[in-house]
Amino acid sequence: MNKPGVEICTLIIENRECGGRSDQTILEVAEEYGIFIPTLCRLSGLSNIGACRMCLVEVKGSNKLMPACVTKVQEGMEVTVNSPKLAEYRKTVLELLFSERNHICSVCVTNGHCDLQALAQKLGVNHIPMPYIHPHLMVDASHPRFLADHNRCILCTRCVRVCSEVEGAHTWDLMGRGTTVKVITDLKRPWGESESCTGCGKCVQVCPTGALSEKGQAAGEMLKRRQFLPYLSMMREVGR
């Protein structure tokens, strides 16, 4: 059943003995054992990029923190998922994200259904210790059915990945760098004028926040439908 070169490993995650295949990541094995590791840029069914740093874990013998979503398991690995340091860093990641753009939860279409908001609550973020940056960002309402509000974007690139990896349109990508990074459609034209967009709406459904939403929704009304993703991750599993 296994591919050549793939071995079964035993490892310890959060003091529990776990078993996994050497082509699985720490996160995948942890999930199988019901051990919670917070994630944000990751979405099962899409490629993993290790960008948000929420899933950092400590691996015994390594002086670097490892992103659980891309780090493969190894025989004898000892993984710490929760430590005061990791908790502090995860909180700081969320605080930095809230400070970066204008996430005004109370008036957001995904208020109550937002991955960022939910994670902040779960990890005990109750205020943002660094000053808000307050960038001046636009809302793109040019698409007939969808809305892109850059104020809510956390640059996780789920939309970029789903569009290129699943839909095959590659309408979305990132422009600029550092603080000027933004998601764009085509040559940074309004979304509604995009030549490559198929209007499938997958980007909207995978978006963790209110950055991409369906039109006509009031605050708190936008529920994301991700039913198609388990199928994708299953196909991915079969494929490897």
Partner 1 sequence: MNQDDLANIAAQTKQGDSRYDHVIKVCVAAGCLSANADQVKTQLESEVKQRGLETCCKVKGVGCMGLCAAGPLVAADANEKMFQNVTPADATAILDSVVDNKPAPAAIVMDSQLDFFTQQKKIVLENSGEIDPERIEDYIAADGYEALFHVITKLKPLGVIEQITKSGLRGRGGAGFPTGLKWTTVHKAAGTQKYVICNADEGDPGAFMDRSVLESDPHRVLEGMAIAGYAVGANKGFIYCRAEYPLAVKRLRVAIRQAESSGLLGNNIGDTHFDFKIEIRLGAGAFVCGEETALIASIEGGRGTPRPRPPFPAQSGLWNAPTLINNVETFANIAPIIRRGGEWYASIGTEKSKGTKVFALAGRVNNTGLIEVPMGMTLRDIIFKLGGGIPEGRKFKAVQSGGPSGGCVPEQFLDIPVDYDSLASVGSIMGSGGMIVMDETSCMVDVAKFFMDFCMSESCGKCVPCRVGTTQMHNILERISEGRAETHDLDLLKRLTGMVKEASLCGLGQTAPNPTLTTLRYFMDEYRAHIEEGRCPAGICHPVKAEAEVGV
Partner 2 sequence: MLPTAKTISPPSDDKRWKIVDGMMRRHGHEPFALIEVLHTVQETFGFLNDDALRYVATSLKVPYSKVYGVATFYHFFTMKPPGKHTCVVCTGTACHIKGAPMLLNAVQDAAKIKQGETTPDGNLSLLTARCLGSCGLAPAVVFDGQVAGKITTENIRRRVMEYLSAESHVKDGHAVEEHK
Partner 3 sequence: MTKAKNPKARVATVWLDGCSGCHMSLLDIDERIILLEEKIDLVYSPLVDAKDFPENVDVTLVEGSISSVEDLHKIKLIRKNTRVLIALGDCAVTGNIPSMRTVFPLSEVMDRVYDENADINKQLPTKIVPALLERVMPLHEVVDVDVFIPGCPPSADNIFLAVSELLEGRVPNLTQTTRFGA
Binding footprint of partner 3 on the chain (CB under 8 A): 98, 102-108, 111-112, 117-118, 120-121, 124, 126-129, 131-132, 134-137
The smaller minimum CB distance to partner 1, of residues 8 and 181, is found at 181
Residues whose CB falls within 8 Å of the CB of residue 44, separated by 6 or more in sequence, listed in order: 229, 230, 232, 233
If one asks whether residue 173 binds partner 2 (CB under 8 A), the answer comes out as yes
Site for partner 1, residues 119 to 178, rule: CB under 8 A: 129-131, 133, 154-155, 174, 176-178
| Cβ partners under 8 Å of residue 134, min gap 6 | 102
Asked whether position 138 contacts partner 2 by CB under 8 A, the answer is: no
Distance of closest approach, residue 3 Cβ to partner 1, in angstroms: 15
Cβ of residue 36: shortest distance to partner 2, in angstroms? 34
Q: How many residues bind partner 2 (CB under 8 A)?
A: 17
Region 193-212 residues binding partner 2, contact defined as CB under 8 A: 195-196
Q: Return the residue of 7, 88, 195, 237 that touches partner 1, per CB under 8 A.
A: 88
Give whichever of 96 and 200 is closer to partner 1, judged by the CB atom.
96
Closer residue to partner 3, CB minimum distance, 117 or 157: 117
What number of chain residues touch partner 1 (CB under 8 A)? 34
Residue 62 or 198 having the CB closest to partner 1: 62
CB of 201 to partner 1, least distance (A): 25
Distance set, CA 226 to CA 6, 37, 72, 201 (Å)? 30, 20, 26, 11
Q: Indicate which single residue of 14, 23, 165, 186 sits in contact with partner 2 (rule: CB under 8 A).
A: 186
Task: For residue 221, give the nearest of 126, 147, 120, 122 by alpha carbon.
Answer: 147
Residues near partner 1 (CB under 8 A) are: 49-53, 56, 64-65, 67, 70-72, 85, 88-89, 92-93, 96-97, 99-100, 129-131, 133, 154-155, 174, 176-181
Residues near partner 2 (CB under 8 A) are: 164, 170-177, 180, 184-188, 195-196
